[in-house]
């Protein structure tokens, strides 16, 4: 096999969910594409990696210091939906059922992987709530063991705000499921049927 092809397959297979066979198929597809399209694709990826920022308010991806959701005056600023990753924001937004703000933790607590609460954007969330105006926090965390650990930790941290309503999305989502892969209908019902966390 060509060394150039081997190099491309090796690089593509570093992406999550892409094995060597899929990487080879993708590499061969890239070879059949117009050079200008491939050049545009690589420019976009390079620019994305160099210029993307994290919103200083919610830790969502943004082109500027504050993401469009946080800047949108039509959003309900009294409600914050806490999620693990940016992909979870996209999944919830796709349902078109939620009009509040978000807070992206950047992962879940996982001692096995060396991820402690201090590695997540939990302090940023607490600061946002301290500034006032937040009446409800929706915890939309996956139902994995790590997700449940994170949920428990967040509930304890947020107890310092006695007037804050803390809810969790309804657990119609299967144990171990990631929000990114949950179908829209299940996610919509989970949001609409959220319950208070005790």
Residue 6 corresponds to which tokens in the numbers above?
Answer: 């081997």
pLDDT at residue 171, as a whole number: 64
The pLDDT tens digits along the chain (198 residues) read 689 999 999 999 999 999 999 999 999 999 999 999 999 999 999 999 999 999 999 999 999 999 999 999 999 999 999 999 999 999 999 999 999 999 999 999 998 899 999 999 999 999 999 999 999 999 999 878 898 899 999 999 999 999 999 998 866 666 667 777 777 767 776 777 676 766
pTM of the model: 0.77
pLDDT at residue 182, as a whole number: 76
CA distance 131 to 80: 13
pLDDT at residue 10, as a whole number: 95
In 23-176, DSSP assigns E strands to 53-54, 61-62, 76-83, 100-104, 136-139, 165-168
Task: For each of the domains in the chain, give its residue range(s) and CATH number, in order of start.
Answer: 3-51 (1.10.8.420), 67-196 (3.40.1360.10)
pLDDT at residue 175, as a whole number: 62
From 187, 79, 189, select the one nearest 129 (Cα to Cα).
79
CA distance 105 to 162: 22
Alpha helices (H) in 52-159, listed in sequence order: 68-71, 86-95, 122-130, 145-158
CA distance 117 to 32: 46
pLDDT at residue 60, as a whole number: 96
């Amino acid at each position: 096999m060509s060394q150039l092809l081997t190099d491309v397959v090796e690089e593509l297979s570093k992406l999550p969910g892409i094995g060597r066979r899929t990487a080879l198929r993708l590499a061969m597809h890239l070879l059949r594409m117009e050079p200008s399209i491939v050049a545009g694709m690589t420019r976009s990826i390079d620019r994305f990696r160099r210029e993307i920022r994290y919103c200083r308010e919610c830790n969502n991806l943004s082109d500027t210091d504050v993401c469009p959701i946080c800047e949108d005056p039509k959003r309900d600023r009294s409600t914050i939906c806490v999620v693990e990753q940016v992909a979870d924001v996209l999944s919830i937004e796709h349902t078109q059922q939620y009009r509040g703000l978000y807070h992206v933790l950047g992962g879940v607590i996982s001692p096995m992987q060396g991820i402690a609460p201090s590695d997540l954007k939990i302090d940023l969330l607490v600061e946002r709530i301290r500034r006032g105006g937040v009446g409800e926090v929706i915890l939309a965390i996956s139902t994995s063991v790590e997700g449940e650990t994170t949920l428990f930790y967040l509930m304890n941290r947020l107890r310092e705000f006695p007037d804050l309503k803390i809810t969790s999305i309804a657990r119609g989502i299967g144990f171990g499921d990631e929000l990114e892969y949950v179908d829209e209908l299940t996610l919509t019902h989970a949001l609409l049927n959220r319950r208070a966390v005790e």
